[in-house]
């Protein structure tokens, strides 16, 4: 295993301990850099972004319904990225990136994505972990900036705090022309995710938001 490989995704020790680092780094569905991902995305009119894609169940199903769509999964966990990449192997316009979601959005071009999904982000309820939370004011502004006019942001979670924060940000800034809040899963008819399945089994309540960019 090369030093470059070890240093890119994790420390050399972690790379030796976790075989999925190498497996993902060498996977043909690893786009490797944002530049490559954006270049590939530009080949398709419809572009779906799954932030925190986990094991890739959602993207796999979405792309099987619409193989001409570009689909990109972002995550930090190598095992999950590897599993997602395996699922996307047969889709010409699907792939993954190992990257922090916040950095990825900062690098995304303006008005680029047709659909941007966040599904069951880690809630990080303790104040001392607040820096890890994905849903923040900056995130909200980045979602608006990077969505195409006519594009939509789809969010579902068991974390009511994120749901309320998104409502609060929209009511203060009024960026999105259409905002729909649901105290249940608005996206029940969309493909499921692993965490959605877990919450269904536990009969845990799910909250959802859909924002549409209209200007």
Ligand X SMILES: C[S@@+](CC[C@H](N)C(=O)[O-])C[C@H]1O[C@@H](n2cnc3c(N)ncnc32)[C@H](O)[C@@H]1O
User: Closest CB to ligand X among 56 and 151?
Assistant: 56
Q: Does 71 bind ligand X (CB under 6 A)?
A: no
Interaction between residue 121 and ligand X (CB under 6 A): yes
Of 61-69, 118-126, 138-146, 176-184, the window that binds ligand X (rule: CB under 6 A) is 118-126
Assess 56 for contact with ligand X (CB under 6 A).
no
Across 11-158, where does the E strand assignment appear?
47-51, 70-75, 94-98, 113-119, 147-157
| Number of amino acids touching ligand X (CB under 6 A) | 19
Part of the chain binding ligand X (CB under 6 A), chosen from 11-19, 36-44, 50-58, 161-169: 50-58
Report the C-alpha gap between 62 and 69 in whole angstroms: 9
What token pair was written down for 191? 């493909």
Region from 33-41, 61-69, 74-82, 163-171 binding ligand X, contact rule CB under 6 A = 74-82
From first CA to last CA, the distance across the chain in angstroms is: 48
**Count of Cβ atoms closer than 10 Å to residue 162 Cβ:** 24
Q: Tokens in use for 179?
A: 């905002």
Give 116 or 149: the residue with its C-beta nearer to ligand X: 116
The Cβ of residue 143 has, within 10 Å, a number of other Cβ atoms equal to 26
Residue the block writes with tokens 């619409």: 66
Q: Please report, as residue ranges, which positions from 192 to 211 form the binding site for ligand X (by CB under 6 A).
A: 193-196
Residues that bind ligand X (CB under 6 A): 52-54, 74-77, 80, 100-101, 119-122, 134, 193-196
């Amino acid at each position: 295993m090369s030093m470059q490989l070890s240093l890119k995704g994790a420390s050399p020790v972690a790379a030796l301990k976790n075989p999925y680092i190498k497996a993902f780094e060498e996977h043909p569905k690893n786009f490797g850099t944002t530049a490559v991902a954006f270049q590939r995305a530009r080949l398709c009119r419809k572009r779906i972004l799954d932030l925190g894609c986990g094991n890739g169940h959602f993207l796999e199903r979405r792309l099987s319904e619409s193989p001409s769509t570009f689909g990109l999964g972002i995550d930090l966990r190598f095992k999950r990225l590897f599993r997602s990449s395996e699922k996307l192997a047969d889709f010409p316009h699907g792939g993954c990136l190992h990257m922090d979601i916040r950095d990825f959005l900062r690098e995304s071009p303006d008005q680029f994505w047709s659909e941007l999904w966040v599904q069951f982000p880690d809630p990080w309820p303790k104040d001392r972990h607040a820096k890890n939370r994905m849903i923040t004011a900056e995130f909200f502004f980045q979602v608006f900036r990077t969505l195409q006019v006519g594009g939509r942001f789809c969010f579902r979670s068991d974390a009511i705090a994120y749901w309320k924060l998104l409502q609060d940000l929209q009511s203060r800034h009024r960026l999105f022309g259409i905002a729909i809040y649901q105290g249940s899963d608005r996206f029940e008819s969309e493909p499921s995710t692993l965490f959605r399945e877990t919450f269904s089994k536990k009969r845990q309540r799910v909250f959802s938001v859909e924002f549409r960019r209209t200007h």
